[in-house]
Structure 1
Amino acid sequence: MILGKFGDEDELLFEIELITADGLEIPIDAVFDTGFSWWLAIDNQDLAALGWTYLEQQTMLTAQGEAEFDIYLGEMRIGGEDFDIPVHVGQGLSEILLGRQWLKNQKLLVDMPSKLLTLG
């Protein structure tokens, strides 16, 4: 089970590690976004240091309208477990996002009155 925390505006935050192509582990807080359909989304400015492999481009409908995303094969760690996943890379993403794909094999528990947030 992965413990999360609530942000200043009640964002659902989980610490993850992005793993570069040469094995460097970069710990960051990611926002769990139930409106995002895929695994992970990052801003294109965050991509440069990672060295991940480009796969394809995809057009997606976002809250701001249609947007182009480059899809990379990325590696990350969450809850001590490593994952190789497709990562959506776009412009103007203010946060690193975890999406609904995690809910296919993890249970999200959000109990704000008790300040309890878990994934797993």
Structure 2
Amino acid sequence: MIQGEFDELGQLFFEIELIAANGENFLVNALLDTGSTEWLAINEQDLQGLEWQRVDRLNVLTAMGETRLETFLGKVVIDSQEFTIPVVAGSEFREKKIGIPWLRNRRLVVDFPVGVLTLG
């Protein structure tokens, strides 16, 4: 189970690790976006240091409508487990976002009054 944090707007953030092709790990904060159908979405500039393999271009539905995005095969660590997942990248993503697929087999606990946010 991982602990998350709320920002001043009440957005939900979790610390995850991105694993570059050379094996280097980068700790980042990722916004949990329950409107996203993608495992992970990042800004295309973040890919430069990761050197993940490009696999496709997909039509993806975002809050701004449908758009065509580059898709990469990325490695992440969440809750001490390593996953190889499809990652979409585009200039419109200001922060790293994890989407609804993570909630299909994990329990999300959000308790604003007591300040508890967990994913496990």
SS of 1:10's equivalent in the other structure is coil
Structure 2 partner of 1:68: 68
- Give me the TM-score of the superposition, normalised by structure 1: 0.96
SS of 1:103's equivalent in the other structure is helix
Structure 2 partner of 1:45: 45
- How far residue 66 of structure 1 moved from its aligned partner, in angstroms, is 2.0
Within 1, Cα distance between the matches of 2:81 and 2:60?
Answer: 28
Partner amino acid, structure 1, of 2:61: L
- Large movers: runs of 4+ above 2 Å: none
Comparing 23-32 and 56-65, the one that deviates more: 56-65
- Give me the TM-score of the superposition, normalised by structure 2: 0.96
Within 2, Cα distance between the matches of 1:71 and 1:58?
Answer: 7
- Give me the CA root mean square deviation: 0.8
SS of 1:4's equivalent in the other structure is strand
Consecutive unaligned residues of structure 2, counting only runs of 5 or more, are none
- How far residue 11 of structure 1 moved from its aligned partner, in angstroms, is 1.0
Query: What is the percentage of aligned positions where both structures have the same residue?
Result: 43
- How far residue 61 of structure 1 moved from its aligned partner, in angstroms, is 2.2
SS of 1:47's equivalent in the other structure is helix
Partner amino acid, structure 2, of 1:12: L
Structure with greater proportional helix content = 2
Within 1, Cα distance between the matches of 2:64 and 2:5?
Answer: 27
Within 2, Cα distance between the matches of 1:110 and 1:28?
Answer: 20
SS of 1:48's equivalent in the other structure is helix
Provide Cα deviations, 1:54-113, integer angstroms capped at 9, x if missing partner.
110001222212211111000011111111000011122111000000011101111111
Consecutive unaligned residues of structure 1, counting only runs of 5 or more, are none
Q: Aligned pairs, how many? A: 120
Partner amino acid, structure 1, of 2:57: Q
Within 1, Cα distance between the matches of 2:65 and 2:78?
Answer: 30
Question: How does 1:70-85 map onto structure 2 within 5 Å?
Answer: 70-85=70-85
SS of 1:49's equivalent in the other structure is helix
